[in-house]
Structure 1
Amino acid sequence: MSAHSQTLSDRIATYDLKGGNIGVSVTPLEEGIAIGHNEHQRFLPASSLKLATTASAFHFLGDFENSGWPKGTALVVETSGDMHERPDIRLIGTGDATLSAGPGCKQNCLSTLADTLASSNHKDIGRIIVDDGLFRRPYRPDGWSHDDLKFAYGAAISALTVNKGEAEAQISSTRGPAPQIEYSWRYEPAFPVSFSDVTTRPGQQDLELDLQSGRSRARFSGNLPPGQRLLLRFGLDDPSIYAGQILRNLLSVRGVTVSGDIVRADDPGLDSSSDLPTEIARYALPAPDPQVTLEAILHDSSNIDSEVLLQHVALSLADRTPESGLWLSEHILLEAGAEETEVEIADGSGLSVYNRVSPDAMTKMLVWASQQDWFDTWSSLIASNGQDGTLSRRFVSTFLPGIIKAKTGSVHDTDALAGYFTASSGRQYAFAIFINDTALSHRQARTVIDDLLLNLIASN
């Protein structure tokens, strides 16, 4: 064991990990001695895995002008040729996770397509056909837990997604002698909600949500004191159908009548071979800016942006399923020098409990990335200490802003941090610190990680 490793192990021995395990790898970007602790053991990397996903995108999709990156969402007017039938409209998803229907939307807005259609001569529409066929049917990766699926960050992955596949509802308890529960959806109702098991007693808020994937009803229980108001964000099982519902509402307020149903493009019997639709008009949004997607992933840790981006990586092998994207992400780590036994990737976001990456595999990938021609663009999008993203409030007062560029990670009993730092010597390092299976709170685990990283920066 080298003197550096002995010093690292001695430092780690001073931490009470509450039964947890820690893995550390620190590797210079130029020639030098790599140090580590449990660096070849397999760990759950949590959202630090997004570094590998985005690096894979740069490697396999090329620069931002490459056709592999997401294109703009399209709206097509179709007719069967029967003069007595209303034309249908087809909303075509292109894997643009930035598509929005918010009132403050300025780019990639579903309302833009609604405005364009409303200003045309198509005022009476039959069905809205949602076409999410670029990817397979809406799905969630293996290893996402039940508790993840009911919240916004666990929305199903689809090629047609509005507002990140989320539905927002405001829930409140009125004041007065007989408080009542009131709720309203921000856009369209996503599913029925039951509050029959909720009390409205004064005191502490204690609200529980039962919402299972594939179920069409949510049930709340517990207590919501009078005067309390909550804004809840739910992850949807089928974002594409919800996108069609929002579009129908947008068209209605613009004077466009939609008399038919919202149907999926691959529904049996939708189109028959003897009556294929004819495209009579097409409107499309500009392609989204990949930098917006990458910042959502590397700054804000967006899961759906990560999984959608992984799908585009898979499409580079002409595969509509995510498996090719997972294989290519693993290939990046192996190409960088990791051992096969140290890597197992189950999703693109790090939310799956089946992911395993060793600290050494992560730092090898980071060193490899620093040698690629896209490194400056990619690394500029990684969050910096004291400046942006999930590091905006970490390492604020100790060093100059930007001396650490890293991706955080946090799931149940797991915390992680991986990226780059500039040591006190001025040398550049890649690092990965993973804590798994600990009884520490996330705050306590982050304190351990931050203290250890600061020590590494000062001693190298």
Structure 2
Amino acid sequence: MKNLLTFLLLYVSFSLSAQDFSSITEQIQSSEVLKKHYFGFSLFDIDEQKYVYGINEDKHFTPASNTKVFTTLTSLKLIGDSIPGIAYIERGDSLLFWGTGDPTFLHSRLGNSKVLDFLKNSNKKLYLAFQPTQEPSYRDGWSIEDYEFYYQPELSQFPIYGNVVQFKEVEGSLRLEPLYFEKYVKYLTDTITRYRIHRPLDNNNFEINNFPLPAQYVNEKPFKTSDSLLISLLQDTLKREVFWTRDSLPKEVNYIYSTATKDVVREMMLPSDNFLAEQLNMVASFMHFGSFNTGDLRKYMKDNFYRNFQDSIELRDGSGLSVYNKVTPRSMVELLLLVQNEVGDEAAKLRLFPAGGLEGTLKNIFHAPEGKAFVWSKTGTINSVHCQSGYILTKKNKRFAYSFLNNNFLGSANPVRKEMVRIVTYIYENF
């Protein structure tokens, strides 16, 4: 009799639990939006250490900027506490330095003066050493027509100014940062009835239609990188001569460190910065291999950290711009758990993700009851793709990791976004 009672209690408990989580199915099935496209969802109970719900969780999707969660783990594993700004050696009266891929040098939001001051104040001749590399300035699966948009700068061994020119209205006039590019600006007389800045694919001649400059105008345009341009920009910025060399990177070098790694990761994650994501992979490759080969880097991470994933994954970049990336919702959850284990501290982990209703790409998406977020998640959006993967803290203080991936819908992502918010909010309120 006692064994029967125990069985019944366990059966009722399991049934209630299953019924509770099956109510998510009702929320999904009631959606007129979700039934029109391909989606997958996976929910993992962090405290109980088990999956509690899934639909198409083992199917492959294009993740868009959810890819940046992979870059987060790569950065935490391989870069160290701070970003190496340059590698250098002193040889007689010369200072030889190598780019590390560090994206923060003279960056408009992350720049600090550590590397700049070091180079400016050196009393030695400066030689920038270029490493031979097969690393392309664009990744496989990127849209070439986006070359002149702020979110797709070219990638390089030694980024400067974020590899973009900033155009900004200041007291009624257009100001460029860096000023070096002013000589390449040409004003056109045409019939375009809006203010537009255009750069041809193959050069850095910026064309501006002769239309009144809008108040508070700010725009960033990628420039076409080259070794010679980098030398010119360095000389223009440092106000001193910079030579170049092809010297190989020695085994023993010194470093000037620029910015805390977690600060750069956070700046990548909150606004979903593609340039920072790709350059962080460049830095990780430099630190691990001593060279730039992000293809080998992705293979290394896959073989050593993702090998126990239940599902295979395919990554072709670090930002999510590539349409060739393929992951499953379940793999995203497994990745989120790896990030949690790597960081350890709960607050530090959540700080790396946009907080719903408060900041980043989730600022105007979720509500934040009494000013407190209940979801911290990475979004991802490209054409016909909209995704979220992150963490939920419910009203009952239950912790979940989740991934909600949506592909192949037509039109705006707004209806899809609203459905994800509705279902995630339902989980917050009911579990």
TM-score normalised per structure 2: 0.79
Q: Which residue of 2 aligns with 1:7?
A: 23
Alignment of 1:376-387 (within 5 A): 376=346, 377-387=348-358
Q: Which residue of 2 aligns with 1:116?
A: 121
Pick from 69, 82, 86 the counterpart of residue 73 of structure 1: 86
Q: Deviations over 1:412-448 (max 9, x none)?
A: 2221111111123321100011122222423333222
Measured in 2, the distance between the counterparts of 1:446 and 1:332 equals: 34
Measured in 1, the distance between the counterparts of 2:174 and 2:113 equals: 32
Pick from 226, 230, 237 the counterpart of residue 212 of structure 2: 226
Q: Which residue of 1 aligns with 2:328?
A: 358
1:93 aligns with 2:99: yes
Q: Deviations over 1:310-359 (max 9, x none)?
A: 2343342555311122113434663453312xx11111111111111111
> One-letter code of the match for 2:212?
P
Q: Which residue of 2 aligns with 1:349?
A: 319
Instruction: Please tell me whether the aligned partners of residues 64 and 380 of structure 2 are also in contact (alpha carbons under 8 angstroms).
Output: yes
Q: Deviations over 1:270-300 (max 9, x none)?
A: x8xxxx9xxxxx9974443212212222223
Single out whichever of 135-144 and 404-413 deviates more from structure 2: 135-144
Measured in 2, the distance between the counterparts of 1:248 and 1:372 equals: 41
Single out whichever of 32-41 and 105-114 deviates more from structure 2: 105-114
Q: Which residue of 1 aligns with 2:245?
A: 265
Single out whichever of 161-170 and 352-361 deviates more from structure 2: 161-170
Q: Which residue of 1 aligns with 2:150?
A: 152
Measured in 1, the distance between the counterparts of 2:279 and 2:149 equals: 18
Cα RMSD (Å) of the superposition?
3.8
How far did residue 409 of structure 1 move? 1.4
Pick from 211, 220, 226 the counterpart of residue 200 of structure 2: 211
Pick from 198, 218, 222 the counterpart of residue 190 of structure 2: 198
1:167 aligns with 2:160: no
Measured in 2, the distance between the counterparts of 1:116 and 1:263 equals: 16
Measured in 1, the distance between the counterparts of 2:345 and 2:400 equals: 14
1:417 aligned counterpart, secondary structure: strand
Alignment of 1:16-415 (within 5 A): 16-17=33-34, 19-31=36-48, 32-61=50-79, 63-64=80-81, 70-73=83-86, 90-100=96-106, 107-108=112-113, 111-113=116-118, 115-117=120-122, 120=123, 129-133=127-131, 136=134, 139-169=137-167, 186-189=178-181, 192=184, 196=188, 198-199=190-191, 204-205=193-194, 207=196, 209=198, 211-212=200-201, 215-217=202-204, 225-228=211-214, 230-238=217-225, 241-252=228-239, 256=240, 258=241, 265-266=245-246, 285-315=256-286, 316-317=288-289, 320-331=292-303, 334-340=306-312, 343-372=313-342, 374=344, 376=346, 377-398=348-369, 401-415=372-386
How far did residue 160 of structure 1 move? 0.7
How far did residue 12 of structure 1 move? 2.3
Measured in 2, the distance between the counterparts of 1:22 and 1:386 equals: 24
The alignment covers a number of residue pairs equal to 405
Instruction: Please tell me whether the aligned partners of residues 161 and 178 of structure 2 are also in contact (alpha carbons under 8 angstroms).
Output: no
1:216 aligned counterpart, secondary structure: coil
> One-letter code of the match for 2:194?
Q
Any runs of at least 4 consecutive aligned residues in structure 1 with deviations exceeding 6 A, and if so which? 75-79
How far did residue 246 of structure 1 move? 2.5
> One-letter code of the match for 1:56?
T
1:159 aligned counterpart, secondary structure: coil
1:48 aligned counterpart, secondary structure: helix
Gapped regions of structure 2 (runs ≥ 5): 1-17
Measured in 1, the distance between the counterparts of 2:144 and 2:378 equals: 25
TM-score normalised per structure 1: 0.74
1:449 aligns with 2:420: yes
For residues 189 and 147 of structure 1, do their structure 2 counterparts lie closer, same or farther at Cα, with a shift above 3 Å needed?
A: same
Instruction: Please tell me whether the aligned partners of residues 135 and 311 of structure 1 are also in contact (alpha carbons under 8 angstroms).
Output: no
Measured in 1, the distance between the counterparts of 2:304 and 2:378 equals: 18
Gapped regions of structure 1 (runs ≥ 5): 80-86, 175-180, 277-281
> One-letter code of the match for 1:161?
P
